[in-house]
Amino acid sequence: MTLNEATTPVPFDSDLHLVQRAQQGDSDAFASLFHSNKARIYSVCLRMTNNIAEAEDLMQDAFLQAFRKLASFRGDSALSSWLYRIAVNTVLMYFRKKKLRNISLDEPYTQDANSSAGDNAAREYGRSDDRLSATVDRIALVRAITELPVGYRTIYLLHEVEGYEHQEIAELLRCSVGNCKSQLHKARLRIRELLSRAQTQRRAASRKSASGRVRAPAPA
């Protein structure tokens, strides 16, 4: 072995190795875990709360919970999945404590049918523009997702955005696969309803705008 080979550091920064070091009290190792996973956990919290300040606080709470429970991590699942489960549970517990709504995964959707994310969606956009329409569609979708009850929204995001399978979601949220599928179906139906309503309002606004443009002043 050459001197260079002996002094070359071995890349031990895998998640499992960092966890093992953190479990032994290495604060730098846990800091590395935090920095490598914080963006994804923050994204989860933000999507679930739709509030930047709350998402930042809940991300911190989730990592605090992870630090406290780190000794129980055995590597049976990926660290990212373990952290994701803690983050989701942290947000759900936050909503329960605030009693903003009943977020039981079995609860049917009960929001007033007269209120929706599309209520304020109608805007005057001028001439039709495919790029603008695509942007508006994305905005409408995000708005529709935020209008879902927390239980619906959580499962929708996990499956449609994060790409988790139903079995994985059931394990993450500790619910049945059948219940997970049912909630996803209801979430899709609600989003379809909200998007249809927003599209109708957008078309009405566009027709109104076009009508105003084609009106010519009466001849003197």
Residue 4 lies in a domain: no
What's the mean pLDDT when you consider all of the chain? 74
State the Cα–Cα distance between residues 19 and 96, nearest whole angstrom: 30
Query: In terms of domains, do 128 and 138 share one?
Result: yes
Tokens representing 51 are 């509030």
State the Cα–Cα distance between residues 33 and 22, nearest whole angstrom: 9
State the total domains in the chain: 2
Query: In terms of domains, do 113 and 172 share one?
Result: yes
The sign of the torsion formed by the CA atoms of 39, 41, 44, 50 equals negative
Query: In terms of domains, do 38 and 72 share one?
Result: yes
Query: In terms of domains, do 21 and 86 share one?
Result: yes
pLDDT tens, residue by residue, 136-184: 567 777 788 888 888 888 888 888 877 788 988 888 788 899 999 999 9
Query: In terms of domains, do 120 and 206 share one?
Result: yes
Query: In terms of domains, do 191 and 82 share one?
Result: no
Residue 138 lies in a domain: yes
Query: In terms of domains, do 126 and 217 share one?
Result: yes
> Mean pLDDT throughout 119-141?
50
pTM score, two decimals?
Answer: 0.54
Query: In terms of domains, do 131 and 86 share one?
Result: no
pLDDT tens, residue by residue, 67-78: 999 988 888 778
Among the candidates 75, 100, 125, a domain finishes at 100
CATH number at residue 211: 1.10.10.10
Query: In terms of domains, do 69 and 82 share one?
Result: yes
CATH number at residue 29: 1.10.1740.10
pLDDT tens, residue by residue, 78-107: 888 889 889 988 888 887 777 544 444 444
Residue 80's domain spans which residues? 12-100
Residue 1 lies in a domain: no
Residue 7 lies in a domain: no
Query: In terms of domains, do 81 and 24 share one?
Result: yes
Among the candidates 82, 100, 118, a domain finishes at 100
> Mean pLDDT throughout 198-220?
68
Among the candidates 68, 100, 132, a domain finishes at 100
Of 135, 124, 147, nearest to 194 (Cα)? 147
Query: In terms of domains, do 112 and 96 share one?
Result: no
